Chains A and B, each alone.
Chain A
Amino acid sequence: MKKINSMACALIALGTGLVISLPLEARVTRIVIDSKTTVTGQTLPYEQIRGRAFGELDPADPKNAVITDILLGVGSDGKVRYETAFTLVKPVNTTASSGFMWHGVPNRGGNATVSAGERELGDIGLTSGWQADNSGATAIPTNRATGTNFWVDAPMARQNGQLVTGKVLARIVNQTGTDSQALVVSRPASPVPYLPASLDTTKATLQIIDKETVNGVVTPGATIASGDWAFAKCDAKTPFPGTPIDINPANLPNNLPVHVCLKNGFQANKVYQLVYTGTNAYVLGVGMAAFRDVGSFFRYATADDTGTANPIAKIVKGSAVRGSSQSGNMIRQFIYMGLNQDEANRQVHDGAWPQIAGRRVAANSRFAQPDGVLELYQMGSEGAQWWVDWPDTERNLPARGIFSRCNVTNTCPKVIEHFGSAEVFALKMTTEWVGTSADADIPLTRNVRRYYVPSSTHGGGSGGFTHQIPAGVSCPGNNYGQGTLAANPVPSTQLVNVLGLAMRNWILNGTPPPPSRYPTLTGGNLVNPTKSAMGFPSVVPGIPDSIFAPENFIFPVFDYDWGATFNHSDASGAPSNIPPLIKKVIQMKVPKVDADGNEVGGVPTVLVMAPLGTYLGWNITAAGAHAGQVCNYIGGYVPFARTKAERSITGDTRLSLEERYVNHDGYVAAVRTAANSAFAQGYLLAQDRDDLIKAANDSTVLK
């Protein structure tokens, strides 16, 4: 059959006088279905298909040329191959499907499929791997057919048959004692993926950092002598120098994490910064291309090269890619790389919904660490973070935008993006809004909607109407410790519910989503990050003025010098300056606040409109190396006093609950007014409006 088709093509080519050259395509060549399970929780019968996709890339294809080191990942036949895991959640009877496919981006290897509500609508959920660092939750399972995480088997970069090497940075934060410590990127489940090329510590540098501020002022401490530490596991039973770690790349990922053992143990409240020569540099961009190809296969293909049918062939009428946090940043990088165009020049997805994500994930440079969260020296803010071509004046980079490549090929998706306050304070987001010069609101395009949930934590809080919430939260990131303030409960769930429907209606029916709502310079509600510029109330219990100091308050974008072999605009290539030099600190902006300290501007959000306290996009680190600084990307909450007498004791300048609402009924009335307003403006569904009013009524506020 294949032969006949080829002959037919040749005859057509001859007949039309055209010369057809069959391209070497970047595509999925084979899929394997490993399991099928029933999915419950909705009316329609659903099933989940778990499988693996095998694909190949042509490094000569210009669409793949954007991938760093792709030429160093070719096999003997000149192609680059990958294998990745996928799941497909779909109606058993595909004709019952809505025809809308969500392509979920796994966050650090986790699942990202459709909700019960979306299954009720008949939507399809495809999830597939993209993060090819084979470490922690993205590790390739021993039995690939039974694994449950999402991974990509991509080649390691080789030159002349040898694995390339390069500098790798790792930091050990707030650890104590004589036990060895693991090298992790942002959490225990995310080990630094790169093995040292040698156990020889004279070829590495381990330095103590006595103090570092959020704005990049580093106070270095002692450098630990090479004889006083080892790449080894050690503990009380096996003290220094311990047991040397296995650095054989053939044993990955089972020989991760890398461990470091110190002769004199780790001192409390310090950062240990290690620079070593790493090996096993995965060609990470291959994972990004694999995600493209899998999405394209399930959307467009009828079968693979071996005849295995696409289980949803000819069913998909529209699709959107969706990811939260790290995964949202992947989407932004995916579009930036031009990967929303497939091998046949088709647009892969109609829509994209990067959630709580204001940067581009570091997944296309040599020895990149995709699990990074923008802590000091972590990559992710390089190059254009905004959509349209816009000058990067402060970093002296050319005018570029995330849409630069897809504009040329007319493959830009419709975009919905939503953010919260924690992304502003610790995840360096406002550069996306105002650029590096921070002096103008960068326009969006017709195809982008932006929504900001004011005064909210990363991903939104737990919701509800609870006045007193116990203090103390865990700061995210690499062992930052605890926060001093209570958890911020402001939810984003209700907005997410609106936006999920809005995206599919936009794509399937052309119905415009609600207008964008976010703070702007023009509107006067995006200001410098100082207490006075923000208009923060003078006395709020538990919030010292010191938190507003530049060294404590907001994580700025740094203009890093990664070295001459790194493309600072594309965030590609091979960084050589490790750690990078900070050439400049970029001006950041923050939302203005009202007399209660709650942010103004953004989407009408019921709990912020009928507040029980001050809801913060930041918290305060209680102890450790970063004590007194913003507690990475977690929000905080300071409740109002219940009565005027109570607040007079602390000098709290914010009105008490009784002063604002009088009694429980008054509070419920305030929630009702807020909910009706948000609903009328299109930012709250009717069911959620009613549920919120009921929850307020059922609450104990002022009872």
Chain B
Amino acid sequence: MKIWHTFLGAIAICTLAACGGTSDRWSLSISEASKTLAKPGSSSQTADGFTLIGGDGTPVKTDGSACVGGQYGFATGPCQVAVLSNDGTVRGNVTFDWTYSTKDTSGPGADLFGVIVDGTVIPLSDPGGMLEQSGRKVLTVTSSIGWYLNCTDCTQGEAQAKVAGFTVK
């Protein structure tokens, strides 16, 4: 019995590198719409998390959107970068730290960062908040987790988000 508990303890806490940290377990993506931007953005894996850089471009029409189909402040805009878990290894109580910043002159209402848990979108960045934001999030994951950075109309400066301190219990 004691041995069983020890085994559970060993697997109960892991970091990004230990559980799901290999690249085949994570899908780093840029949406097709985002690829049409002058600066499409990127997502990349770091030693203990991920970095997402949002897209940015110049609209064809003044006050328009650089992202075709994108609209300022609407999270459903088609231009985004994302990281998604693509297997079932990341389950349980997930904790991570996040930081966000935007260079957009309109502020964080223009570039939206959030987490997707089991298919449900949970915004993290505050659209009415400061240009630089951060937080720690604790979530229960049943099947999948991922993060997105949506540049909505994708103009006037890009945003960046980092996920770190990732643990699963």
Which A residues have a C-beta under 8 Å from some C-beta of B? 441, 443-447, 449-450, 452, 512, 515-520, 522-525, 601, 681
> Which of A446, A449, A512, A524 has the most chain B CB within a 10 Å cutoff?
A446
Task: Given A443-B74, A444-B73, A446-B63, decide whether A516 and B126 contact each other with a Cβ distance below 8 A.
Answer: no
Interchain CB contact under 8 A, A447 and B63: yes
B109 is contacted by which of A444, A525, A681 (Cβ under 8 Å)? A444
Which B residues have a C-beta under 8 Å from some C-beta of A? 63, 71-74, 104-110, 123, 125-131, 152-153, 156
Q: Give the distance to chain A from B135, nearest Cβ to Cβ, in Å.
A: 9
Q: Give the distance to chain B from A438, nearest Cβ to Cβ, in Å.
A: 15
Interchain CB contact under 8 A, B72 and A516: no
Q: Give the distance to chain A from B80, nearest Cβ to Cβ, in Å.
A: 15
Interchain CB contact under 8 A, B106 and A512: yes
Q: Give the distance to chain A from B72, nearest Cβ to Cβ, in Å.
A: 5
Find chain A residues with CB under 8 A from B73 CB: 443-445
Q: Give the distance to chain A from B121, nearest Cβ to Cβ, in Å.
A: 11
CA distance A446 to B128 in the complex (A): 14
Interchain CB contact under 8 A, B72 and A446: yes
Find chain A residues with CB under 8 A from B125 CB: 522
- Which 3 pairs across A and B sit closest by C-beta, in order of nearness? A515-B107, A443-B73, A523-B126
CA distance A518 to B129 in the complex (A): 7
Closest to A681 in B: B130
B127 is contacted by which of A441, A447, A449, A524 (Cβ under 8 Å)? A441
Q: Give the distance to chain B from A287, nearest Cβ to Cβ, in Å.
A: 30
CA distance A601 to B126 in the complex (A): 10
CA distance A499 to B106 in the complex (A): 14
Q: Give the distance to chain B from A365, nearest Cβ to Cβ, in Å.
A: 31
Interchain CB contact under 8 A, B128 and A441: yes
Find chain B residues with CB under 8 A from A518 CB: 128
Interchain CB contact under 8 A, B107 and A516: yes
Find chain A residues with CB under 8 A from B72 CB: 443-446
Interchain CB contact under 8 A, B74 and A515: no
Interchain CB contact under 8 A, B153 and A522: no
Find chain B residues with CB under 8 A from A522 CB: 123, 125-128
CA distance A444 to B74 in the complex (A): 9
Q: Give the distance to chain A from B47, nearest Cβ to Cβ, in Å.
A: 29
> Which of B72, B104, B110, B127 has the most chain A CB within a 10 Å cutoff?
B127
Interchain CB contact under 8 A, A515 and B131: yes
CA distance A466 to B105 in the complex (A): 36
Q: Give the distance to chain A from B109, nearest Cβ to Cβ, in Å.
A: 6
Find chain A residues with CB under 8 A from B110 CB: 446
Q: Give the distance to chain A from B100, nearest Cβ to Cβ, in Å.
A: 12
Q: Give the distance to chain A from B94, nearest Cβ to Cβ, in Å.
A: 19
Find chain A residues with CB under 8 A from B109 CB: 443-444, 515-516
Interchain CB contact under 8 A, B128 and A520: yes
Interchain CB contact under 8 A, B106 and A515: yes
A519 is contacted by which of B63, B128, B156 (Cβ under 8 Å)? B128
